[in-house]
Amino acid sequence: MSEIHLKIDGKEIVAKEGMTILEAAKSAGIPIPTLCHYEKLEPYGACRICTVEMEAQGRKQLVASCVYPVEPNAVVTTRSEVIDEVRKMILELLLAHAPDAPALQDLAKEYGANEGRFEKEPSFCILCGLCVRYCAEVKKKDAVAFVDQGPKREICFVPEVASKECWNCKECFPLCPTSYLQAAYVLTEGLVGFKTS
């Protein structure tokens, strides 16, 4: 695999072809915040908080570093006024749904996000998909999935599968940044009445 030379925050970096900007940054010790990213899973590119500025082939654009592949001679910036504005807005949008989530609270402090900017609609889930993707890619059980579209999107346990598989697994629970997952599971358990022992 060929080498790719690029600059991240002024630092010269040698990355391998096929690496993402996030991976290249990590290898150089440059932190980029993430919410929907987890090394054991395929990058998802949904939360967009890992957004960075990239200049390559004469074009400047904002890209999600967790999915964007490194390009030769690219110049990447991980913090700027524009980027910070984007991250701040993303946090404010998510805080409307999960105001108490520790992961969001920590980042909110760093970016000066205003928790009260938008009217609260406490669904508690930020739809990062970590649970859904973990169950699909690692456990290969598909016990929990996304349903609906757009603003109505939510996660949903499939009772027929969850009743068989989840009771002695629950490996996805610690991944949830808002602990909504555990609540959803307990609720489904209660509604559908499946046994856990």
Partner 1 sequence: MTKINSPAELEEYRKILKSKIDPNRRWISLCSGSACNAARSAEVAAAIETELEKEGLSGLVDFKRTGCHGFCEKGPIVDIHPEKICYLNVAASDVSEIISETVKENRIIDRLLYTDPSTGEKIAHEDDIPFYKYQGRIIFSSNSKVDPKYIDDYIAVDGYSALAKALFEMNPDQVVDTVKEAGLRGRGGAGFPTGKKWEIARANPGDTKYVIVNADEGDPGAYMDRSVLEGNPHAVLEGLVIGAYAIGAHQGYIYVRQEYPLAVENVNIAIKQAEEAGFLGKNILGSGFDFTVEVAQGAGAFVCGEETALLRSLEGKPGEPKARPPFPAQSGLWGKPTNINNVETWANIPMIINNGASFFNSIGTKGSAGTKIFSLVGKVNNTGLVEVPMGITLRDIIFKVGGGIPNGKKFKAVQTGGPSGGCIPSEHLDRGVDFDELAKVGAIMGSGGMIVMDEDTCMVDMAKYFLVFLSEESCGKCVPCREGIRQMLNILTNITKGNGKESDIEVLEKLCKTTGSASLCALGKTAPSPVLSTLRYFRDEYEAHIRDKRCPAYSCKSLISYYIDPEKCQACMTCGKKCPAEAIVGGKNQIHVIDQEKCTKCGTCFEVCPSRFRAVKKISGEPVPTPIPVEARKIVREGKQK
Partner 2 sequence: MDNGRIDQIIDKYDGKESSVIQVLLEIQRENRWLPGEVLDRVSEKLSVPLSRIQQIVTFYKAFSLSPKGRHEIHVCMGTACHVRGAPRVLDTVQDLTGIKPGETSPDLKFSLKTVNCVGCCALGPVVVIDGEYHGKMLPATSEDVLKNYE
Binding residues for partner 1, rule: CB under 8 A, are 45-49, 51, 62, 64, 67-69, 82, 85-86, 89-90, 93-94, 96, 117-119, 126-127, 129, 146, 148-153
In whole angstroms, the minimum distance from the beta carbon of 161 to partner 1 comes to 18
Determine which residue in the list 82, 147, 169, 186 makes contact with partner 2, applying CB under 8 A: 147
Q: Which does 175 bind (CB under 5 to 8 A by kind): partner 2, partner 1, none?
A: none
The sheet with strand 59-64 has its strands ordered as 11-16, 3-8, 75-77, 51-56, 59-64
Nearest CB to partner 2, comparing residues 49 and 176: 176
Given the rule CB under 8 A, which of 8-16, 91-99, 138-146, 185-193 is the region that contacts partner 2? Answer: 138-146
Q: Which does 47 bind (CB under 5 to 8 A by kind): partner 2, partner 1, none?
A: partner 1
The type of residue at 166 is C
Which of 56, 108, 18, 81 minimizes the C-alpha distance to 4? 18
In whole angstroms, the minimum distance from the beta carbon of 130 to partner 2 comes to 15
Which of 176, 30, 32 minimizes the C-alpha distance to 111? 32
What's the sign of the alpha-carbon dihedral 64, 70, 72, 73?
Answer: positive
Which of 79, 44, 80, 84 minimizes the C-alpha distance to 64? 44
149 near partner 2, rule: CB under 8 A: yes
User: SS3 for 45-65, per residue?
Assistant: CCCCCCEEEEEECCEEEEEEC
Q: Which does 45 bind (CB under 5 to 8 A by kind): partner 2, partner 1, none?
A: partner 1
d(CA 128, CA 85): 20
Given the rule CB under 8 A, which of 21-29, 77-85, 143-151, 180-188 is the region that contacts partner 2? Answer: 143-151
